[in-house]
A = this chain, B = another copy of it.
Amino acid sequence: MSVTAPRGFRAAGVAAGLKPDGARDVAVIVNDGPSRSAAAVFTANRVQAAPVQWSRQVAKGGRARAVVVNSGGANACTGAPGFQDTHATAERAAHALGDSAAEILVCSTGLIGERLPMPELLSGVDMAVADAARDGGLDAADAIRTTDTVAKIAFRRGADYTVGGMAKGAGMLAPALATMICVLTTDAELTPEQCDRLLRAATAATFDRIDADGCMSTNDTVVLMASGASGAAPDEEEFAALLTEVCDELAGQLIADAEGATKAISVEVVGAASEDDALQAARAVAGNNLFKCAMFGEDPNWGRVLAAVGTTTAAFEPDQLNVAINGVWVCRKGAVGDDRSKVDLSGRDVAVTVDLSAGGAAATVRTTDLTTAYVHENSAYSS
């Protein structure tokens, strides 16, 4: 279902020859309206790929006719020629759609520092626009994969509208987005301002709270397009909840497919004086290499959790910290708690709870373990 679950959208994913193995590598998602409100959020990295620079400008207009996504090359750190390549890509899609390039977003993912093979990419855009169809959502989700082992899609039905989405991203999933590209669609009737506000809130609560390796990409982009094809102006609270659910489900799929990971870890911080404190502490634990190695080794090493929390400015007293790993409170009041041999870490899912004993706020950050396979993949994959 993916991005074509809502009415008003067509999509396609084609093999244009950007990937050496001949797999799909160019996707388009076309909004046929009647409206075309849109918004996007981007990486906070100051080194931004050409497509991010381009799409930022498009998003400012609040309207989008289509998104072109290519895998097989990030078009990052490619200078002015790389920006021209992105511009040419948008122009080609605009021409094929009989529309304006100023309403075409472009996303790219893959290796940094290399120019894209433009003849292949441009004919790929032609092919994809020609192929774009109501049943093309899954092909599009397939075409945006890099080291992703599976396509990531999700959708939710509202009262009389639908929210759909697809995402890619398998490594570099860090706060403030990740090496991830996500396209969200809805046939609800929304203004550009609603798109922007609702998208920012949904991503802040989901994609911004996953962290695979603490690294921040040059290409992260999340786009929301609203076709208005349902004719329904949604209840904003209900829509926000559904959009967040779709994002949350996609974020979970990203963590589940993170490069080389053997554990999907949720770090929940409770008893915090504020949500900011809870988030800061959860991020510190989720980003701690030694903790992540311990999880890979199935070692309920709560000392590393405490050492990570101790690097934050969150309100807490060290001798009031409690830590549970998969339900066993192995650390109580900053010291040894229940028998750590009772902790079962054999499964893929791990739940770590840190109680700061400083208030009533909470937050959760999801991460993965740090594995020998992660190191292997990222020492071999030249990006």
Contact = CB atoms under 8 A, between A and B. Distances in A.
Interface of A: 44-48, 74, 76-79, 82, 111-114, 171-172, 213-218, 287-290, 293-294, 296-297, 299, 301-304, 306-312, 316, 318-319, 321, 331, 333-336, 370-372, 374-376, 378-380, 382-383
Given A318-B46, A318-B48, A172 B290 contact: yes
B378 A293 contact: yes
Contact of A216 (B46, B311, B318): B311
A216 B171 contact: no
Closest 9 CB pairs of A and B: A297-B379, A112-B303, A47-B310, A293-B378, A79-B335, A45-B310, A372-B372, A46-B310, A296-B379
A293 B379 contact: yes
A381 to B, nearest CB: 8
B47 A335 contact: no
Contacts of A372: 372, 375-376
A171 B311 CA distance: 17
Nearest to A340: B113
B76 A294 contact: no
A177 to B, nearest CB: 12
A334 B306 CA distance: 39
Contact of A215 (B45, B215, B307, B335): B307
A101 to B, nearest CB: 23
Given A289-B378, A304-B112, A383-B301, A319 B79 contact: yes
B310 A383 contact: no
A207 to B, nearest CB: 16
A116 to B, nearest CB: 13
B382 A371 contact: no
9 contacts: A46-B318, A77-B334, A77-B335, A172-B290, A214-B289, A215-B307, A293-B375, A294-B379, A299-B379
Given A48-B318, A215-B308, A371-B375, A331 B113 contact: yes
A231 B289 CA distance: 47
Given A215-B308, A290-B383, A297-B379, A47 B318 contact: yes
Contacts of A316: 46
Contacts of A289: 213-215, 289, 370, 378
Given A299-B379, A375-B371, A335 B82 contact: yes
A200 to B, nearest CB: 20
A291 to B, nearest CB: 8
Contacts of A303: 74, 76-77, 111-113, 218, 383
Contact of A112 (B172, B213, B307, B309): B307
A307 B217 contact: yes
A294 to B, nearest CB: 6
Nearest to A297: B379
Contact of A79 (B302, B334, B375, B380): B334
A214 B311 CA distance: 11
A218 B334 CA distance: 12
